[in-house]
Amino acid sequence: MNERLHSVDEVAERLGLHVRTVRSYVRDGKLPAVRIGKQYRIAHADLEAFTGRPVPEALRESAARERHSEVSSIVEVDAVDQATAHRVSTLLTGATGNRQSGDEPLRFQTFYDAERARLKIIIVGGLGETARLLEYMEGVLTS
């Protein structure tokens, strides 16, 4: 089998749609797909027929060659005052804002519960970038 198969995530990103929308198209029969295990795969020809436009060759080749990895981290820190929580949030904003355009996306969200003095941080990004961000946070939280 030489035909390139696209994942639902790849199709959603390519079309600018949510993954659930693409799955819905597959389930409704609007977008032909093959189920392999628990995941759908969409043939390149079917994607072109669905969109009415050819998928750029560069996208097909890069998707076939590049390996992607992503990590999701949830960090909970107890006994944190509001000033420290603000410093951590500012650090994260600065660290994610000073990135090159070719870098993998790095997203975070912070939640501070003043009543419990608890800071919760959710980070989603590449392995190396997330590790560096966690090291920065450790520096602020242990000082």
Residue extents of the structural domains in the chain: 5-65, 71-142
What pLDDT digit, counting tens, does each position of 46-101 carry? Answer: 888 888 776 666 555 555 555 667 888 999 999 999 999 999 988 888 877 765 55
pLDDT average, residue stretch 3-18: 87
What is the rounded CA–CA span in Å between residue 12 and residue 15? 5
Q: What is the pLDDT of residue 50?
A: 83
Please give the residue that has the higher pLDDT: either 33 or 100: 33
Class of domain 71-142: alpha beta
Are 74 and 120 spatial neighbours (Cβ–Cβ below 8 Å)? yes
Q: How far is CA 36 from CA 20, 23, 46, 93, 136, in A?
A: 17, 14, 16, 40, 41
Tokens standing for residue 32: 């032909």
Domain formed by 5-65, architecture = Orthogonal Bundle (1.10)
Q: What is the pLDDT of residue 1?
A: 46
**Average pLDDT over the chain, rounded to whole?**
82
